[in-house]
């Protein structure tokens, strides 16, 4: 087995006009792993994988995929990379089997559609029109289309968004079956549970940067060191006063005022230190809550708050993309 990584991306950067979507992303995906790209909406996940897939040209940084340069060798890359991007859409009347046959015709040595229907649990739906499929079935079809060219790397973006828990679990089983068939997978998700369940390693992306990389266990351990303290003062206190009170506390990694309550992220002895600091500023607490940070909380606080305006709707991207020329921006 080769030890050359499937993906090696270094210091990727990409802007859309004045929006800096990806500021600095470096990551390495090894052969045979399910690699999670995790982050909240607008963090820059899709833009990152689109650069890896050769669909967008980076403004800065370098990327190598399966030994190829996606910016200059996109056509060769598309033969070996399967893409399932958000917003999969097909002509309404196209039947499942017809869609697979159509996509198979783009490749010299496609996978057997019968096998793919079986793998994706779509055999009973092979004669069903796209418009009559459930959300989960549509997603599974888009995965089947991404796999029809027998890719070495499959990029699956927000695969289970909008699915009910049952369909989500079924889809997770499919992802594992694909990995077991020898395909390296990049899984883009904003669902912690999904990343934890499926991924060998995760890159957490926040505000266009990699906040951390590790196995789910390593990342959860890191998150558990993080605490979130929420203090509501007895009497109204100006936001600036609350923030100034905790500004110099060493273990505070992030502080904000939300709905008149001071919300502090930190580690170590942050709880005691913040309470002492508030008392020194004559702020008395009416209500104090200590929460264990979620994974996302932990990393958002490690990297600073997300920039306003990043929560806009994601762009519309093409469905599973076979040999068409890459959309350049």
- Binding residues vs ligand ATP (CB under 6 A): 16, 19, 21, 39, 41-47, 190, 310, 312, 314-315
CB of 168 to ligand ATP, least distance (A): 16
Pick between residue 1 and residue 308 the one whose CB is nearest to ligand ATP.
308
CB of 195 to ligand ATP, least distance (A): 13
Pick between residue 71 and residue 307 the one whose CB is nearest to ligand ATP.
307
Q: How many Cβ atoms sit within 10 Å of the Cβ of residue 58?
A: 22
CB of 156 to ligand ATP, least distance (A): 13
Contact 255, 263 (CB under 8 A): yes
Contact 175, 34 (CB under 8 A): yes
Pick between residue 110 and residue 326 the one whose CB is nearest to ligand ATP.
326
DSSP state for residue 278 in the 8-state scheme: H
Residue 243 Cα distances to 113, 249, 253, 283, 292, angstroms: 60, 11, 12, 11, 21
Pick between residue 47 and residue 303 the one whose CB is nearest to ligand ATP.
47
Tokens describing residue 274:
């913040």
Pick between residue 39 and residue 113 the one whose CB is nearest to ligand ATP.
39
Which pairing describes strands 60-65 and 201-206: parallel, antiparallel, or unpaired? unpaired
CB of 48 to ligand ATP, least distance (A): 7
Q: Hey, is 134 helix, strand or coil?
A: coil
CB of 247 to ligand ATP, least distance (A): 29
Residue 149 Cα distances to 14, 103, 111, 317, angstroms: 28, 8, 6, 20
């Amino acid at each position: 087995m080769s030890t050359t990584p499937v993906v090696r991306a270094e210091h990727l950067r990409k802007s859309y006009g004045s929006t800096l979507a990806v500021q600095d992303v470096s990551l390495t995906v090894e052969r045979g792993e399910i690699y999670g790209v995790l982050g909240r909406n607008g963090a820059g996940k899709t833009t990152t994988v689109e650069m890896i897939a050769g669909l967008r040209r980076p403004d800065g940084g370098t990327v190598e995929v399966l030994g190829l340069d996606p910016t200059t060798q996109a056509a060769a890359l598309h033969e070996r990379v399967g893409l399932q991007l958000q917003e999969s859409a097909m002509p309404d009347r196209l039947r499942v089997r017809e869609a697979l046959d159509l996509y198979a015709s783009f490749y010299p040595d496609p996978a057997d559609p019968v096998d793919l229907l079986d793998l994706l649990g779509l055999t009973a739906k092979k004669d069903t029109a796209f418009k009559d499929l459930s959300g989960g079935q549509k997603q599974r079809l888009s995965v089947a289309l991404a796999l029809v060219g027998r890719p070495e790397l499959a990029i699956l973006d927000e695969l289970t968004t909008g699915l009910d828990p049952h369909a989500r679990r079924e889809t997770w089983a499919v992802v594992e079956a694909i990995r077991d068939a020898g395909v390296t997978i990049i899984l883009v998700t904003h669902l912690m549970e999904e990343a934890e369940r499926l991924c060998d390693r995760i890159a957490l992306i926040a505000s266009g940067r990699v906040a951390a990389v590790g196995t789910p266990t390593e990342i959860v351990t890191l998150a558990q060191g993080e605490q979130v303290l929420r203090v509501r003062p007895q009497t109204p206190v100006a936001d600036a006063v609350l923030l100034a009170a905790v500004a110099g506390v060493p273990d505070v990694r992030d502080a904000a005022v939300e709905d008149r309550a001071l919300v502090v992220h930190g580690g170590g002895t942050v709880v005691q230190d913040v309470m002492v600091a508030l008392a020194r500023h004559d702020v008395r607490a009416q209500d104090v809550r200590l929460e264990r940070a979620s994974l996302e909380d932990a990393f958002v606080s490690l990297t600073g708050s997300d920039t306003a305006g990043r929560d806009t709707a994601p762009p519309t991207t093409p469905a599973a993309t076979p040999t068409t020329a890459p959309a350049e921006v």
